[in-house]
Amino acid sequence: MNQDKPNRRFQFSLRMLFALTTFCAIVASLVATFRDFFVEDFFMFLLSWLILYLPTSLILCGPIWWFGRNRVSSWHKSDFLVLVVPYLTWATFMVIDDSGKSFSILFEPFYLALASVFAPLTRVAIARTASSRLTAFVTLFAVCIVAIMLWTFVPGMRK
């Protein structure tokens, strides 16, 4: 049994190394492809995520995760993706076609953070009746749809 532990650790570290290498390769290819974007807008997207979306989502979703822990059998890692994936969806659509929008519409990440509360709230509300993983992914998908709707229906403001 003692011999299995080093092998598992080694296997885990190889998986992590492979994942990190793959992530770095993807980021490098994205930087090479969207060089102008990364120079101009990347830091604005990062700051709007760190200043507007993430704190608002944590403040609103955190208590639901904390107080709902007794009702939900277990929170999955996919439940916490609501902190990243909807914003990345919105940011991706902004990069593809900003439709005349600029960073003068910084309230969109805030509204998206308000919509992100839907995922843990729904998970707590129907915790005992539905599959936990299915509920987590469906609610995450729904918040991503809200992100796309925000991008689509909120008009750009004049500079």
Give 120-144 pLDDT, tens digit per residue: 998 888 877 877 788 888 888 999 9
Please count the helices (runs of H) and the strands (runs of E) in the chain: 8, 0
Range 90-99 contact pairs with CB under 8 angstroms and sequence separation of 24 or more = 90/147, 90/148, 90/150, 90/151, 91/45, 91/49, 93/147, 93/148, 93/151, 94/45, 94/151, 95/34, 95/37, 95/41, 98/156, 99/156
For the stretch 86-112, pLDDT in tens is 988 888 888 777 666 666 567 888 888
For the stretch 27-65, pLDDT in tens is 777 666 666 655 667 777 777 888 888 888 889 988 988
Q: What angle, 0 to 180 degrees and rounded to 10, lies between the N-to-C axes of helices 107-116 and 85-96?
A: 150
Indicate whether 66 pLDDT > 60. yes
Q: Quote the pLDDT of residue 146.
A: 92
Indicate whether 14 pLDDT > 70. no
Indicate whether 145 pLDDT > 90. yes
pTM summary value: 0.69
Residue 127, class by beta-carbon neighbours within 10 Å (0-12 exposed, 13-18 middle, 19+ buried)? middle
Q: Quote the pLDDT of residue 36.
A: 61
CA 68 – CA 123 distance, rounded (Å): 9
Q: Quote the pLDDT of residue 142.
A: 92
Q: Quote the pLDDT of residue 39.
A: 60
CA 79 – CA 7 distance, rounded (Å): 30
Regarding predicted confidence, which is higher, 26 or 7?
26
Span 136-159, average pLDDT:
83
